[in-house]
Amino acid sequence: MKLFRVEPKPRWADQADGAFTWKLPSFKCPTCNLLQSEWFGYPNLSLQGKVEEGLYQARLVTKYDYLQLARTVESLFPDCPPLYPGTGFGPFRGTVGHGEKRDCLWVSPQKLLLKETAYDQLAESGLRIGTGPAVMEDFKTYQARPEYRRVVDLKVICCMAVQTIEFAEFRNCSECGVRVLKRPERLFLKKKAIPEDLPLFMVRETASIIANEEFAKAVKSLKVKNTAFEPVDLV
Ligand SMILES: [Zn+2]
């Protein structure tokens, strides 16, 4: 099995703007004061009309308040994936550049939009990529850009191997555990924790998107220039 960390190229360049419609608030760890906030989200879970929507925005609350708000979402969606502070809920909304036509479009290293034609080509090559709704507008004309209506929906998996720490800036706290503070130079993943059949998934500890070999091959065949694939180490 070969896996790749997949990222925008260049890494620092946002290629479109956007955010999830709702977010679980973030909090600072009461012990180490480090901000607990994730950048990923679940585009297929909508909170519309189900919660007090003003409370589910990007903001800072106490850990207690965060837990209360997370419990409300859990009671609405008993089978929902893990609800981390900062987790977004769909649809994803944003703007794309006026002349934009690239197949893969990055909003951050955690949010990837796929153009409809590219998604169809990837599906034809046999890849089953989970996506959720995105509502994108043209940056200049505010017209809808329906060719960008999918954001990749990633399963979040705790699978970072401890060897990564050697290549990362991190902090260890008795309350919130080991926290990787910056993108590690090298990424090691636990082989046993990795699902075999997913073209893409998210590493919870480092918020990295990981692609399998089939996805990497299929995307490279589209000749995309704005996406980098870097092999990761499996241990
Ligand atoms: Zn802490």
Mean pLDDT of 4-32: 94
State residue 11's pLDDT score: 87
Instruction: Tell me the CA–centroid distance for residue 206 and ligand 1, in Å.
Output: 16
Mean pLDDT of 49-55: 96
Instruction: Tell me the CA–centroid distance for residue 28 and ligand 1, in Å.
Output: 8
Instruction: Tell me the CA–centroid distance for residue 18 and ligand 1, in Å.
Output: 29
Instruction: Tell me the CA–centroid distance for residue 172 and ligand 1, in Å.
Output: 7
State residue 28's pLDDT score: 97
- pLDDT band, very low/low/confident/very high, at 14 (cuts 50, 70, 90): confident
HSE-CB at 1 with a 13 A cutoff on CA atoms is 19
State residue 196's pLDDT score: 85
State residue 171's pLDDT score: 94
Q: Which amino acid is at 120?
A: D
Instruction: Tell me the CA–centroid distance for residue 33 and ligand 1, in Å.
Output: 6
Average pLDDT value over all residues in the chain: 95
Instruction: Tell me the CA–centroid distance for residue 30 and ligand 1, in Å.
Output: 7
**pLDDT higher than 90, residue 12:** no
Instruction: Tell me the CA–centroid distance for residue 127 and ligand 1, in Å.
Output: 39
- pLDDT band, very low/low/confident/very high, at 34 (cuts 50, 70, 90): very high
Contacts of 77 (CB under 8 A, 6+ apart): 45
As given in the structure block, the two tokens for residue 220 are: 């490279």
Q: Which long-range contacts (CB under 8 A, 24 or more apart) does 98-103 make?
A: 98/138, 98/139, 98/140, 98/141, 100/15, 100/16, 100/145, 100/148, 102/15, 102/224, 102/226, 103/219, 103/222, 103/224
Predicted confidence (pLDDT) per residue in 157-215, tens digit: 999 999 999 999 999 999 999 999 999 999 999 999 998 889 999 999 999 999 999 99
Separation between Cα atoms, residue 158 and residue 189, nearest integer Å: 9
Mean pLDDT of 84-94: 97
**pLDDT higher than 90, residue 13:** no
Q: What is the DSSP letter of 56?
A: S
Instruction: Tell me the CA–centroid distance for residue 9 and ligand 1, in Å.
Output: 32
- pLDDT band, very low/low/confident/very high, at 1 (cuts 50, 70, 90): confident
Q: What is the pTM of this model?
A: 0.95
State residue 197's pLDDT score: 86
Question: Would you call 88 exposed, middle or buried from its count of C-beta atoms within 10 A (0-12, 13-18, 19+)?
Answer: buried
**SS3 label, residue 115:** coil
Instruction: Tell me the CA–centroid distance for residue 7 and ligand 1, in Å.
Output: 28
Instruction: Tell me the CA–centroid distance for residue 178 and ligand 1, in Å.
Output: 8
